[in-house]
Structure 1
Amino acid sequence: MDDQDLTLMFKALGHPIRRDILDLLKGKPKTTSELTGYFKNVSRYAVMKHLNILEQANLLLIRREGRTRVNYINIVPLQQMLNRWSTRYQSNFASAIVSLKTKIEGSNNDMSLVHDSFQIEQEIIINANREKVYNAMTKGINDWWTYRLCGDGSILTLEPKVGGKFLEANKNGKAALWGTVIKINPPEEIRLSGLLGMEGAVNSSYSFKLEEKGSSTVLKLSHHAVGLLNPDWQHSHNEGWKELLGDFLKNYVEKNELPKSNK
């Protein structure tokens, strides 16, 4: 993240209405009309100007469904800003303190499963061509995908074909299916269906779209889950995707750098 990106972000966060918009989108994506309805004393034109500033700062992702514009929060730049001034140890320690504060204040007492849904949208710019990113996401996935369900030493493989398995297995025979490929269009798109560490009555699907942007690639993640969900799962998956794609995959492709846990 360069100084110009930071300047745009601080400008975007400097107005209370724009901060309110991000707070509203934190729960779930909303159409422009829905957002306008929250601000009774602000014109639609003014709300659109605020949305445009957030989009310029890459804090807002836009998806069009017919004539409807759906707005999603993009938290990757916020994490990149945090990483600039904190180590991972400091970040984890601060998160633990915030979590403890929240529990003490009693705002997070009910962690039972509830019937709900969530959608996560993120964009990451990787300074490499689309083919290199695609190959890293398929052939090289074991090198940078650090999360494991079967313990240390397990191997991850992703078969790039419809019906192909995104599988983890260890030498003792323990295995876990992270997902199954339901659509593939090399090197532009991979769609999978799978639980991604969640358990129980959940339907979960996630897709990766790779778009060329000059000599770089824009990786667009979309993850949707519905069913009996733990209220923590959206946050944990959001953070997990940021780390996996915005940190581990990006560094693996751009710098040939392995995550510390894989070295």
Structure 2
Amino acid sequence: MYEEEELTRTFKALSHPVRRQILDLVKDGPKTTGELSDQFEDLSRYAVMKHLRQLEESNLIIVRREGRNRENYLNAVPLQEIHNRWMNQYQSTMAGSMLALKNNIERGNNDMEKPHNLKHDAFQIEQKITIDAPVSKVFDSLTKDIDKWWAYRLCGEDSTLYLDPKLGGQFVEKASEDHAALWGTVTYVKAPYELRFQGLLGMNTAVNGAYSYSLEEKDSKTILTLSHDVSGLIDPEWKENYSGGWEELLGIFLKEYVEEGKIPENVRG
């Protein structure tokens, strides 16, 4: 019932052309409320803020406040959930963007290894997922059960993932003593409500990467907010690729594991 209410809010938010235009404007990067208001000459700032509020209530926009500015980020997860509900029965594979992170990590000859594509840049990803489970269960799944649903691997399908949720703890993948990878290091923990990491997540260039999970319990559900910030030598396609990868990892694999006990096909049982 709750998911049906979320779906109704999403469609209602998408029904207005101004709100759709706002989503188009933040698709390529966050915009402040002032920057968005400047794009609508026939609307007052108050009217634009009302549209933004409805987009935020439907989880299509995530707000991060930077000083006095309100940064508005696109959250594509509700749109992906609509796609999954009606399109998966007609398509044999996920949308290409949702597999891009896995392809980037696992292919030995992927675009990340082509230095001519790289430039000094930065990007931020913000996503919000609703999971039908209490915070404590979601936190345990994010940490001690990570090997059961995190389907992307750097060391092969027979590797094992471990996450130690303490300050300085490591998110490690290991196939053998001679074949292992570090996905991230815990820089902040407030169990079971927040985890922050420093980590490259498969990137193999000179970059600084940080990502975090924030968990909030609401109406017996958990609202999981992901933030991912990257700066350095970056391929222009990485933001789209990693955004799609997070949608799959958290919006599908984690959500289905927590709610249904479902394990992705390519993860060992």
TM-score by length of 2: 0.87
How far is 1:88 from its partner? 7.8
Q: Which residue of 2 aligns with 1:129?
A: 134
How far is 1:56 from its partner? 2.6
How far is 1:231 from its partner? 1.1
User: Which deviates more from structure 2 when the two are superposed, residues 55-64 or residues 70-79?
Assistant: 55-64
Q: For the residues of structure 2 that align with 1:148 and 1:2, how far apart are their CA atoms?
A: 31
Q: For the residues of structure 2 that align with 1:94 and 1:153, how far apart are their CA atoms?
A: 26
Q: For the residues of structure 2 that align with 1:148 and 1:65, how far apart are their CA atoms?
A: 34
Q: Which residue of 2 aligns with 1:116?
A: 121
Deviation per residue, 1:219-256 (Å, 9 max, x gap): 11100001111111111111111111111111111111
Q: For the residues of structure 2 that align with 1:182 and 1:13, how far apart are their CA atoms?
A: 38
* Shift in CA distance, 212/94, structure 1 to aligned 2, threshold 3 Å: closer
How far is 1:216 from its partner? 1.5
Q: Which residue of 2 aligns with 1:159?
A: 164
Q: Give, as a single letter, the amino acid of the residue that structure 2 aligns with 1:189.
A: E
Q: Give, as a single letter, the amino acid of the residue that structure 2 aligns with 1:257.
A: K
Q: Which residue of 2 aligns with 1:24?
A: 25
Q: Which residue of 2 aligns with 1:106?
A: none
Q: For the residues of structure 1 that align with 2:4 and 2:141, how far apart are their CA atoms?
A: 29
How far is 1:40 from its partner? 2.3
Q: For the residues of structure 1 that align with 2:18 and 2:214, how far apart are their CA atoms?
A: 31
* Shift in CA distance, 129/3, structure 1 to aligned 2, threshold 3 Å: closer
Q: Which residue of 1 aligns with 2:212?
A: 207
Q: For the residues of structure 2 that align with 1:233 and 1:121, how far apart are their CA atoms?
A: 14
* Shift in CA distance, 85/139, structure 1 to aligned 2, threshold 3 Å: same
* Consecutive unaligned residues in structure 2, runs of 5 or more: 101-115
Q: For the residues of structure 1 that align with 2:3 and 2:94, how far apart are their CA atoms?
A: 26
Q: For the residues of structure 2 that align with 1:209 and 1:94, how far apart are their CA atoms?
A: 26
Alignment of 1:36-115 (within 5 A): 36-87=37-88, 90=91, 92=93, 95=96, 112-115=117-120
How far is 1:57 from its partner? 2.1
Deviation per residue, 1:23-65 (Å, 9 max, x gap): 1111111110111112223211221122122123221112223
Kept after mapping to 1: 8 A contact 2:37/2:45: yes
TM-score by length of 1: 0.88
* Consecutive unaligned residues in structure 1, runs of 5 or more: 100-110
Deviation per residue, 1:171-220 (Å, 9 max, x gap): 36211111111111111111000111112111000000111113111111
Q: For the residues of structure 2 that align with 1:123 and 1:94, how far apart are their CA atoms?
A: 19
Larger relative contact order, structure 1 or 2 (CA cutoff 8 Å, min sep 6)? 2
User: Which deviates more from structure 2 when the two are superposed, residues 134-143 or residues 165-174?
Assistant: 165-174
Alignment of 1:134-149 (within 5 A): 134-149=139-154
Q: Which residue of 2 aligns with 1:102?
A: none
Secondary structure of the equivalent of 2:176?
Answer: coil
Q: For the residues of structure 2 that align with 1:221 and 1:255, how far apart are their CA atoms?
A: 21
Q: For the residues of structure 2 that align with 1:95 and 1:259, how far apart are their CA atoms?
A: 17
How many positions carry a matched residue from both structures?
251
Confirm or deny that 1:246 pairs with 2:236. Answer: no
Confirm or deny that 1:183 pairs with 2:188. Answer: yes
* Shift in CA distance, 2/230, structure 1 to aligned 2, threshold 3 Å: same
Secondary structure of the equivalent of 1:90?
Answer: coil
User: Which deviates more from structure 2 when the two are superposed, residues 140-149 or residues 31-40?
Assistant: 31-40
